[in-house]
Amino acid sequence: MKYKLGFLGAGNMAHAVATAAINQGLVPADKIIASDTNESRRDLFADMGINVTQDSALVIAQSQQIMLAVKPQVFPDIAPLLAEVDAQRQIIISIMAGITSAKIEALAGQSLRVIRVMPNTPMMVMQGMAGVAMGQSTQPGDDTFALELFAAAGKAISVSESDIDAITAISGSGPAYIFYLAQAMQEAAEQMGLSKDGALLAQQTILGAAILLGQSDDSAGELRRKVTSPGGTTQAALTYMEEHNVRQSITEGILKAQARSIELGK
């Protein structure tokens, strides 16, 4: 195969993966190819030294690892091209939400070695979290490259494909929950007359708390307890949130995300 890694779709997530692969020395730029119908996206990849094309069939014909980085609703249009994949020599890596390995194989019309990955947007700043799952027709070791690739842009864990919907709900959609919290903190700051610095206060507080959580031996609950003095300001806020079922609402919302991911897969 001429290329180690080929992208079908050159969106933001594909760009983050390609950047990590090159910067971490996993794959040289000249061993990567990407296809996209959008000229500006192709130009962005070309500026990195990556080979680009409008021809998805070319990517499929010449890439050892083929990443499906298109929107799920677009996939049925390109799926017939996967009939040309040599399953003995090539591996499919899919970052499409909600489309199972069985469905990918069915639409392609043949058995394929499919690795499903659920990444998240912090990959764009090399702080991503990804769940990597072996598909129904894979062989031992087929996920090794994908695990290395996504770990290069943050962290990656090996999971069962049946867990992908849960991974989607927790870490895939998770950044939106944090941005939602940041938005609420900023709005509170503005109400207290801190409109100029509200965004910075929220951003740095969330960033610092995340780093502390990652480096501490304490659980999230224990860290929260250490910040919460009895009868103090933090206690006043958390008591109000508990009385209004904020934590329960967040948990139930995440379960709704999982249910929606399962529904989309059908």
How confident is the model over 86-105, as a mean pLDDT?
95
Residue 211 has pLDDT above 90, yes or no: yes
The phi, psi pair for 172, rounded to 5°, reads: -65, -50
- Res 266 pLDDT > 80: no
Is the per-residue pLDDT at 47 higher than 80?
yes
Q: Can you tell me the mean pLDDT for 182-200?
A: 96
DSSP secondary structure of 3-63: EEEEEE--SHHHHHHHHHHHHTTSS-GGGEEEE-S-HHHHHHHHTTT-EEES-HHHHHHHE
Report which of 150, 137, 179 is spatially closest to residue 69, judged by C-alpha positions.
Answer: 150
Q: Per residue in 141-172, pLDDT tens?
A: 999 999 999 999 999 999 999 999 999 999 99
Please, what sign has the CA dihedral across residues 148, 150, 152, 156?
A: negative
* Cα separation, 34 vs 46, whole angstroms: 9
CATH numbers and ranges of domains, the chain: 3-161 (3.40.50.720), 174-265 (1.10.3730)
Residue 162 pairs with which residues in a beta bridge?
none
Is the per-residue pLDDT at 105 higher than 90? yes
Would you state the structure tokens that stand for residue 66, as one six-digit string? 């083929």
Residue 230: pLDDT above 80? yes
The mean predicted confidence, pLDDT, of the chain is 96
